[in-house]
Amino acid sequence: MADVTGVRFIGAMIQAKGEEFVKQLRTLEIQMHMISGGAMHELMAAGEMPMSISIFRNHVHAARPKGAPTEWVPMDLNPTNAGGVALPVGTNSPHAALLFADFLLSPEGQKIFEEKFRFATSTKDYGFKRWYPEKGMTVAQYEKAEERWKNLLRGMVRK
């Protein structure tokens, strides 16, 4: 089964290049690895993989100071998570949790995410086009699109 990251990348490629382009990728005999984007980046940095469509910008930027010989090249459209903060229902300090969530979403909190974890913040322009796959869709529409992208991904990878 395809992970969500790969599925969303297929959706972005369809948006940017069309479904026929994606179907033509079958000839590349792409391998799917059910590991995290960070683990995939480590394989690339070690020379075990030539490239991956599911490496995140922050993986490359976080590994660069350690000497990783990799580069992140944005696609025409880059699937982006809208982000958010979840709070546990049964927290002992709901007001403190709410204040912490507010801080995480503040400019100061976003600056920490960017500097410490190399995450791209939602308010800064990094020179690539962001694509929010769910935007403008109902849950049912998104689930249907995601299932189509998943089937295309399964059809293009080497078994």
What is the C-alpha to C-alpha distance for residues 65 and 143, in angstroms, rounded to an integer? 39
Q: Is residue 30 a contact partner of residue 52, using CB atoms and an 8 Å limit?
A: no
Q: Which of 64, 12, 67, 70 has its CA nearest to residue 41? A: 70
Q: What share of residues in the chain are helix, strand, coil (percent, to 5)?
A: 55, 5, 40
**For the residues 43-57, what does the mean pLDDT come to?**
87
pLDDT at 141 over 90: yes
pLDDT at 3 over 80: no
**For the residues 8-31, what does the mean pLDDT come to?**
90
**For the residues 102-122, what does the mean pLDDT come to?**
83
pLDDT at 1 over 60: no
Q: Which of 150, 12, 1, 152 has its CA nearest to residue 80? A: 12
